[in-house]
Amino acid sequence: MTLEECYEKFGGDYSETLERLVMPELVEKYLRRFLKDPCYKLLVESFREDGSRDREAFQAVHTLKGLCLNLGLTPLTQSSSALTEALRDGRKPGAETLFEQVKKDYAAVSGAICELIGA
């Protein structure tokens, strides 16, 4: 699988990412690092039905959104951005549904990256 095919698979923006990072090797390097970044795991651990750890969840998803934006992970950028806003200044209705979408989008992105790198 090529980088372009990887981005196509999850609906990302490879050309914009390549413009930003300049070299395909850097794109792949940062995709590998993305898989190891702890913010998604922290989000999953801190998002609770009772909302008791919403501040942590907000910080984690806000960080995830920034990573996704820089790497052109478009669907995950969009869902994490929506969840960020749903957790900003306290949990808003629909946050649970948005959280499920983030999990779905993360699975698609991480699956494609793992296929790319042969993990």
- pLDDT tens digits, one per residue of 48-74: 888 899 999 999 999 999 999 999 999
Structural domains present in the chain: 3-117 (1.20.120.160)
- pLDDT tens digits, one per residue of 1-60: 999 999 999 999 999 999 999 999 999 999 999 999 999 999 999 998 888 999 999 999
Query: How high is the pLDDT of residue 36?
Result: 95
Which tokens hold the place of 7?
């981005």
What pTM was estimated for this model as a whole?
0.94
Query: How high is the pLDDT of residue 49?
Result: 80
pLDDT higher than threshold 80 for residue 119: no
Please report where in the chains the tokens 């999953």 appear, as a residue. Answer: 44
d(Cα 35, Cα 63) in Å, to the nearest integer?
A: 14
Which tokens hold the place of 78?
């969009």
- The alpha carbon dihedral of 35, 37, 42, 47 has a sign of negative
d(Cα 5, Cα 119) in Å, to the nearest integer?
A: 16
Query: How high is the pLDDT of residue 115?
Result: 96
Which has the closest alpha carbon to 64: 106, 27, 16, 11?
Answer: 106
Query: How high is the pLDDT of residue 51?
Result: 84
Please report where in the chains the tokens 């951005």 appear, as a residue. Answer: 81
